[in-house]
Amino acid sequence: MALALWPGNPSGSGDALESWEKSPGSPVCEADLAVDRFLKRELGALLPAAGWLSEETADDPARLGKGLAWLVDPIDGTRDFIRGRPGWAVSVALVSGGRPLIGTLVAPARQEVWSATAGRGAWRNGERLVASTRKTLAGARVPAHDLPKEDQILTKVSQPNSIALRIAMVANDEADLVATLRWGFEWDVAAAALIAREAGAAATDAFGKPLAYNKRDPRAFGLLVSAPAIHGEAVAHLAGRAAALAPKG
């Protein structure tokens, strides 16, 4: 469904894609909503008792009382999707007790399916993933277009718009570090963080604290996914900026 609507698909419908901004700097398109409706229907039929938390659905607090909950980003990387670029994915995770049980990323424009089950490893297109094993922060590969002065010790590699795909790059040893210093939502990272962790990477918030899911406020400040040996060094490297930017109180 998403691939058929993607402007970069030469076999697509050819119709102009409808897109708009939900809020300044937050694009959405008809594909986001179509995929959201499809997944809500299909996953709801698969597990009727599970709660639902999606970027494109109004939040229903009833999910908090559910033993299981689906966390969904129907199109992660909407900017790339709208522009006909391949750096987008459909992200789905099933969580229980605040922890992901399964996670799947489908990136049809890249012909990739990423998946993980808690305690059973992570995979891309049937091949088991082994995360980066880098030992030092200096020179670490990070998906980025530009790096601020403080991060010039790092090495830029290609950056897809999808944060989930950037996290998956660490899981597949295509990057050593992915970090953000802003508010992010659970649906953005739940599936990919599980995939990274099951591949052997470390995955926390910007302060090095564990990520939790299906919370009343479905946000966390910052994200840090890295090779495990550089995680502590990365937390320390970001600590001053994280403390300055994080909400007080």
- Binding residues for Mg(2+) are 55, 73, 75-76, 188
Bind-site residues: 55, 73, 75-76, 188
Pairing type for strands 219-226 and 202-204 reads antiparallel
Beta strands in the chain (DSSP E): 19-23, 26-29, 51-54, 68-76, 89-96, 99-107, 112-117, 122-124, 127-128, 141-143, 155-157, 177-185, 202-204, 219-226
Are the beta carbons of 100 and 76 closer than 8 angstroms? no
Asked whether 71 and 53 are in contact (CB, 8 A), the reply is yes
Dihedral, CA of residue 241, residue 243, residue 246 and residue 249, to nearest 10? -160
Distance CA 41, CA 55 (A): 15
Please give the C-alpha separations between residue 248 and each of 8, 219, 242, 243, 245, in angstroms, as whole numbers. 43, 15, 11, 9, 9
Amino acid found at 43: L
Q: Which residues pair with 94 in a beta bridge?
A: 70, 102
Give the tokens for residue 49: 């008792």
- CB count within 10 Å of CB 211 equals 21
